Amino acid sequence: MNTTTISKSSGVRKGAWTEEEDLLLRRCVEMYGEGKWHKVPIRAGLNRCRKSCRLRWLNYLRPHIKRGDFSSDEIDLILRLHKLLGNRWSLIAGRLPGRTANDVKNYWNTHLQRKLIPLQRQDRKCRVLKITENTIVRPRPRTFSSAKNVSLCSNKSITKTIHKEDGSKENNICEKPIGDAPTDHGIQWWTSLLDNCNEIEEAAAVGSINLEENNKLLSLLHEEISPPINGVSNCMQEGQSGNWDDFSVDIDLWDLLN
């Protein structure tokens, strides 16, 4: 069924893409490269808005996009990264080669969220202290100026709520100046992320949070989530088998994280 419609206001086509449109878009991007999306509809001869063209390319036509079910490794990584990053789908997808932010978001909304909510509802009163899930990391990578040493994390802030034994809460907002070395923004960002882990370690050291549980968490963080070196996602490096096969372990991890 052809569900494509013509927008009355802009006159551009909306709805499902046809094979012909895909072909035109693919040729255009192959010829001119990605970017300059405002020029793509004209260059490709498509009666589509630039947003629609960009989305179609990024989510469907781009080479090496992985289709099909998510592997247990991928699911595990999504769970971990979502715990750290929240709904930062593009960042999470960036750690999953071949997966798009839309894929990850859809998978989360349809598979994981539904399964995990009941887990979150479980009574965890036995835990005296915990790091709650409102740990928010806000790196906002946008475009990168070639002329300036723009930090990837220029507006980064990390907030963390620690629930104390007496029932009170303490919010920590961590704003850290980022060095202006432009060499590897990815390392900077992930290092900053791990700085947050270090703060947890420090809190554990002074006994303000549960040491044992957070040692487990921190070991996982340091082990699994390290800076991407040279643009290669280390978690998916060739030859790394990992020990994520048993998904039941991962559910335990999720429980631990909450």
Partner DNA sequence: AAATCTTCCAACCGCGTGGCC
Partner DNA sequence: GGGCCACGCGGTTGGAAGATT
Site residues, DNA (CB under 7 A): 1, 3, 7, 13-17, 35-38, 48, 50-52, 54-56, 59-60, 87-91, 101-103, 105-107, 109-111, 140-145, 148, 150, 154-155
CB of 84: closest distance to DNA in angstroms? Answer: 12
Pick between residue 104 and residue 204 the one whose CB is nearest to DNA: 104
How is residue 255 written in tokens? 């429980």
Pick between residue 107 and residue 190 the one whose CB is nearest to DNA: 107
Pick between residue 125 and residue 142 the one whose CB is nearest to DNA: 142
CB of 191: closest distance to DNA in angstroms? Answer: 19
CB of 213: closest distance to DNA in angstroms? Answer: 27
Pick between residue 180 and residue 252 the one whose CB is nearest to DNA: 180
CB of 122: closest distance to DNA in angstroms? Answer: 21
CB of 207: closest distance to DNA in angstroms? Answer: 35
Pick between residue 42 and residue 205 the one whose CB is nearest to DNA: 42
